[in-house]
Each structure stands twice: as structure tokens, then as C-alpha cells.
Amino acid sequence: MRSYDSFAQINALFKVKRDDSSGKTDDPGLKMEFVYAVNDALRSMPSIVHKTVLKSIINALLEEGRLLYPKDEVRAHFILIQNPVFSAQSSYTIFAHLLKQIVALHTAEHQLLVHWFQL
């Protein structure tokens, strides 16, 4: 599953408007029903699929020099933090790396992320 291989691919898959560069507090600009459907499908997949998805997420988190629209990094973090593959104890170190990146976001991006979780 290469959909999670980079932040650009995550946004290309889940964003409503591909060229949207805004970040509204009342709408993340994502196909949320699709995000939920993919996450539900991942829950029922075998562990080999979880490992593949986890490898893709690692590639996305370690990607350097990301060329993204403003707020796309926050969107990708919003999608990744909800991913069900992080429910396995073996993925906790990768989840910790994701949280470390979220902590490193600017205050405005933190606030945006918090607003999206409140929806």
C-alpha cells in the first residue's frame, strides 16, 4: 500500500480539492468518509498488510524536503494519527516519531489540528 509513502501521496488521496492551500478550522478539506472507510478496512486486514502500511508511513515520516501546499503537512499528520495500524504495540516507536513531528509543528498548526479533532 503505497498510498502512505509520502505526505504528498496522502494528501493526493484524501484531499477534497487537490490545489487547496488553505487551512480552515471548521473543515480540514479532506474526504473524511473515505478516511474512515480506509481505516475501517485496514483494521480487518492481515498483519502483513499492516507491516506494509507501516513501512510506507515510515517513508513518509522520514521524507526530507517536502514540497507541499500550506497546511498539507498538518492534514497528513491528522490522517496518520488516526491510522489503526498504531494500535499494535510493535508500532509504538513509529507512533512516537509521528507525535514528535506533531509536537514540532508551529503553534498555529497545532491549533488547527486541535480544531479538526473537535469536529
Amino acid letter for position 94 = I
- pTM beyond 0.85: the answer is yes
> Would you state the pLDDT for residue 1?
59
Rounded to 5°, angle at Cα 83 from 63 and 76 = 40
Range list of β-strands (E), 12-117: none
**pLDDT reported for residue 60:** 96
Tens-digit pLDDT profile for the chain (119 aa)?
A: 578 999 999 999 999 998 887 888 999 999 999 999 999 999 999 999 999 999 999 999 999 988 898 899 999 999 999 999 999 999 999 999 999 999 999 999 999 999 999 98
Q: Count up the domains in the chain and report the number.
A: 1
Residue 88 structural domain: 2-18+25-118
